[in-house]
């Protein structure tokens, strides 16, 4: 017997500044600059047979608003626990804030649409040394 598996996604946007102090001397990324970010959070699982829902979007929206407020109109270098604010580390940071409340979390994508850039984090995986 097969069971229906669904994925639901919700996104939020935030505006923030950052700088990458390890970038090359001539890199514009070394100087403070800002971006418009879009984060997409995806949950995967089986809908509840009584409600038909995997997770109520209102519950997800409330959690995402909390995360958004921690990032929006901030200097990301100063956000506690973020470290160097690359797309990769922002995605992991968001994941870490949501995973305890959403065990169906399977992906956090962070986009800089104006740059055509994004990163998707799908949780931790084991890999062999030397694998890339």
Residues belonging to the binding site for Zn(2+) are 18, 33, 35
How many degrees, rounded to 5, is the angle at CA 73 between CA 68 and CA 75? Answer: 105
Alpha helices (H) in 5-129, listed in sequence order: 57-71, 87-98
Both structure tokens of 90: 């922002």
Is the CB of residue 40 less than 8 Å from the CB of residue 11? Answer: yes
Q: Which residues are annotated as a binding site?
A: 18, 33, 35
18 torsion bin: left (phi>0), alpha (psi -120 to 50), beta (else): beta
CA atoms within 13 A on the CB side of 39: 29
């Amino acid at each position: 017997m097969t069971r229906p598996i669904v994925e639901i996604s919700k996104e939020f946007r935030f505006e923030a500044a950052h700088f990458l102090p390890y970038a090359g001397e001539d890199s514009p990324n070394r100087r403070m600059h800002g971006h418009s970010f879009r984060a997409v959070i995806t949950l995967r699982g089986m809908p509840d047979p009584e409600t038909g829902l995997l997770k109520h979007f209102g519950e997800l929206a409330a959690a995402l608003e909390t995360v958004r407020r921690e990032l929006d109109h901030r200097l990301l270098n100063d956000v506690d626990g973020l470290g160097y604010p690359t797309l990769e580390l922002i995605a992991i940071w968001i994941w870490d804030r949501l995973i305890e409340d959403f065990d169906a979390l399977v992906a956090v994508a962070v986009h800089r649409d104006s740059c055509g850039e994004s990163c998707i984090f799908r949780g931790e995986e084991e890999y062999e040394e030397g694998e890339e």
